[in-house]
Each structure stands twice: as structure tokens, then as C-alpha cells.
Amino acid sequence: MKIKISVPEVVNLIKGLQENPSRIFEMATMNVQKDVGDYLTNLMKAELTHYLGRDEYERSKGGANHRNGSYPRDFCIKGIGEVAVNVPRDRKGQYQTHVLPRGKRYEDRIAEDLSVMYLTGISTRTLSMLSRRLIGRQISHEEVSKANRELTEAVEKGIVKSFL
């Protein structure tokens, strides 16, 4: 793939970066997010191919299950931010990906970090406001509370097991 760019366009780009140097980090982050999203999408497509036992557009005899498009989903990854992926699906609705956790919008490390901040005394509403700046996505105070409940349950189970 060749990209054609003129000298005045390069000069304008350099001037823009000189005026706002943080712009280069924004551009790099956007590329990383897109690449990670594409990687996860391709990984799930390969997982569906393995699940169905045949490649895309390959036909089989009988009433076998088929691909049935995909649906968009956002997933937040620590250190990368919000990633857009397309989760493939099958016609019978039996395929469930193991690449992304079902029903979660962010990875477990983010929930752990939120719980630690909560334990230090930051309120759920303050964490909700800070999440936009920290991970690029605002997490509702209800989601923070849910993560803290999960942490509390894990601690209680650990304490109960240690006494047994």
C-alpha cells in the first residue's frame, strides 16, 4: 500500500505537532486501539472457524451450523483504552467466544484497580468521574459498586477458606 502525501501536507502536519506535541500520543493511541481491536476480531473469527469446523464460505452437507454476521462491542483494556471489536456469531446462537469475557465491558485488572482505589477511600461517584481520564471510558458508579462487591465476596471466601 502506497500513501501519497504532498510537501505542504507534511509541513502542516509538522507545524500541528509543534503546536500541540501531545497530539502525536493521541494518534499513536488511536492506531494501537484499532490494531488491538482488529487482532481480537480476527482471533474470534478464527475461534468460530475452529468451532464450526470449516473456513468462511466453505459449505458442508447436512443441516450444519453457519456463520451469521457479527455485532459490534466495545471492550476496555488497561493501558490501551476502549477497543472496538466485532464479535462473530453463528446461526444457531451456540457459539460463545472465550477471547472476551461474556457480559464484561472491561478487563479484570481495571476492576481490581478500581477496588483498590475504593478501599483507599475514594467514593464510587468520584471513581466514576476519574475513570474517563484514567482509562478513556466512564465507568458508572453502579459498575464500581459491582466490582467492589465481587472483591468483597472473594475476600470473604478467602477468609472462610483460611479458617477451615
Residue whose grid cell is 459449505: 59
pLDDT 10s per residue in the chain (164 long)? 567 777 887 788 778 777 777 777 677 667 888 899 999 999 999 999 998 888 888 777 766 788 889 999 999 888 888 899 999 999 888 899 999 988 888 888 887 887 788 778 888 788 878 887 777 777 777 877 777 787 777 777 765 444 44
Of the candidates 136, 139, 137, the residue with the CA atom closest to the CA atom of residue 26: 136
What pTM was computed for the model?
0.69
The CA-atom distances, in angstroms, between 74 and each of 4, 38, 46, 95, 139 are 32, 12, 19, 19, 13
Q: Which tens digit of pLDDT belongs to each residue from 61-101?
A: 766 788 889 999 999 888 888 899 999 999 888 899 999 98
Residues with Cβ within 8 Å of 51's Cβ and at least 6 positions away in sequence, in order, are: 90, 95
